[in-house]
A and B are shown apart, each in its own frame.
Chain A
């Protein structure tokens, strides 16, 4: 069954119709392939919020109404929900040729879709995967990343631990390949900023008594000295039981406890409360409770649209259809991220540079880069793959 539809958001008519232009956007999802278990752990326990990014895109368009009116732009939003039974490429061909494509797909089809759309001349945005390989190996000139990379997240955490003086880190990680590769990235970040790894330990989900050194938090965190425990548990199955059960009374960071995030509901400064309130209230037919805020994926989608609408002035003249590539490749493109520092695109790997929040469930404890971590060129480029260490060198 074809599950696509076209949604037209008609902005108020331009005061200067001669300049009228369209901004075409498309969101590509695969909701029917992954409805059941996104963000869920064993027994259906929801351990993190993973929502479709559509609401955040609509919020960005809602916020840009005055700007669209001023620039004579009409946004058009197309939604493509990939049907597993039909060939992927056929469905991707339905995307308007000038559209900026927000890719909200699981990793298994993400690379295939991004590669096809690159060859097809589209500009795409990764709003979901912090994976390093998409930046360093796939390295497509047409693919932008507005979700922070894993290195940005872990560099923020590494800076925070050093800033706090918690240098000795016990790393506890899960058994999956994803856990292991993310652990490597974490260790690289920690070592980059001068932390000492007390030990690397793997947990198991087995409750068998023979496995007690790996399944009991008290044993898992015993027999070594450390200032803090860093937990990598991509599926959130075990890590959440480590807090308050460590052998020593030490804080827990990483995938649980103090966590590096792109956005948070409790950020008090930089206009963030207004943005959070708008996110809850702008859709009058579907008002969200005051405890809800954008997930990192939604914030990434919102950032991508706002990067376009905040940077319309960099394009000399707008007529017909606005080419998003013209803005995204422009060195002056910038976005107000409500995080204290403006965001912009790293020219070498198309990553959106941005501050990272270090937050618990209740509060944003710090905003990285932390004080005294300085960069010769750009304030936030101490976070993530900097130009010299990036294997992707696009521009």
Chain B
């Protein structure tokens, strides 16, 4: 097993070393949830950890300085990680637990998106007020897209026609043509837009300081609606939503409410909040198990993650992560 000290990064020398993985004696599974493996980036300890459906950390790999955004790679064994303070992107192989390849000189890499059909990797450059598009196979820079200051969330539509980038400082989402990379439009959002999630013809944008999720039409870019958060005992201005995750089969969206220490469950069609679930401090990263039975919430200020049973809508357990867990990808 990975020790607490290893999670904190005390024993690691920040180099890739072959780590021995002890056999995990999971005698009794906590629920009927089927097995999964999730990979988490730990922003401050510079590592990725592998966790299983019981919340056990099965493996730790020191990876780079300040790993933040992460996306699934072209292979089922790969994730692509933005290493902000190393100014690079790494393709991490969760099977071999080694780095398959790297793209260097990516200033302030913050968040990433992958267009699988064309193998284009999109990155926001936090310090640079821009987003970059790379060819994943050759590592070559294809385009540089000017955005507002502090770009964070980035997405590309499945058909590759539009790219959306949220600029936290500017309060704007820039819209680019996915082929020509020309700026097509600018969407005005509420304060500090963070993450963008695509749902059919809708664009959901979390406004961290505006305490809401705004919903826009992808084609017209007109605002269709918004969801404002206010759990009992909190004031609206304490809600600082970050990650948004859809579970379409259940007609549910999950929104991590940051400093409010809750996750909200939103009815997608009604755009209504159906439940708030208490988790750890500054909940921001979200992951969903392949069987859609478990929601995994990363708590950035309490350095842990919470597994939520989506059948009962109750937290099952909270376990230690590394320092400042940031992003998660979940695999079968």
Chain A residues close to B by CB (< 8 Å): 63-64, 66-67, 70, 271, 274, 277-278, 310, 313, 334-336, 340-342, 375, 377-380
**B170 interface neighbour in A66, A271, A377, A380, Cβ under 8 Å:** A66
From residue A280, how far is it (CB to closest CB) to chain B in Å?
12
From residue A66, how far is it (CB to closest CB) to chain B in Å?
4
B148 interface residue, CB < 8 Å from A?
yes
**A340 interface neighbour in B147, B168, B170, B240, Cβ under 8 Å:** B240
- B150 nearest in chain A by CB position: A274
The answer on a CB contact under 8 Å between A274 and B170 is: no
B192 interface residue, CB < 8 Å from A?
yes
From residue A239, how far is it (CB to closest CB) to chain B in Å?
33
Q: Which B residues lie within 8 Å of A277 (CB)?
A: 127
**B149 interface neighbour in A66, A313, A341, Cβ under 8 Å:** A66
B191 interface residue, CB < 8 Å from A?
yes
Q: Which A residues lie within 8 Å of B148 (CB)?
A: 66-67
Give the A-B contact count at a CB cut-off of 8 A.
Answer: 59
From residue A8, how far is it (CB to closest CB) to chain B in Å?
22
**A379 interface neighbour in B147, B188, B191, B235, Cβ under 8 Å:** B235
The answer on a CB contact under 8 Å between B235 and A274 is: no
The answer on a CB contact under 8 Å between B127 and A274 is: yes
Q: Which A residues lie within 8 Å of B192 (CB)?
A: 271, 336
Give 8 pairs: A residue, B residue, CB < 8 Å, sorted on A.
A63-B169, A66-B149, A67-B148, A271-B192, A274-B127, A310-B171, A334-B209, A379-B235
The answer on a CB contact under 8 Å between B209 and A342 is: yes
The answer on a CB contact under 8 Å between A336 and B126 is: no
* Cα–Cα, bound, A347→B58 (Å): 55
**B126 interface neighbour in A66, A274, A313, A335, Cβ under 8 Å:** A274
The answer on a CB contact under 8 Å between B172 and A70 is: yes
Q: Knowing that A63-B170, A341-B238 are A-B contacts, what are 5 other residue pairs whose CB atoms are under 8 Å apart, sorted by A's residue number? A: A66-B129, A271-B169, A274-B169, A277-B127, A340-B259
The answer on a CB contact under 8 Å between A67 and B171 is: yes
The answer on a CB contact under 8 Å between A70 and B168 is: no
**From residue 159 to 173 of chain B, which have CB atoms closer than 8 A to chain A?**
167-172
List the 4 closest A-B pairs by CB distance, nearest first. A66-B148, A379-B235, A66-B170, A342-B209
B71 interface residue, CB < 8 Å from A?
no
Known: A67-B148, A341-B238, A342-B210. Contact between A313 and B191, CB under 8 A? no
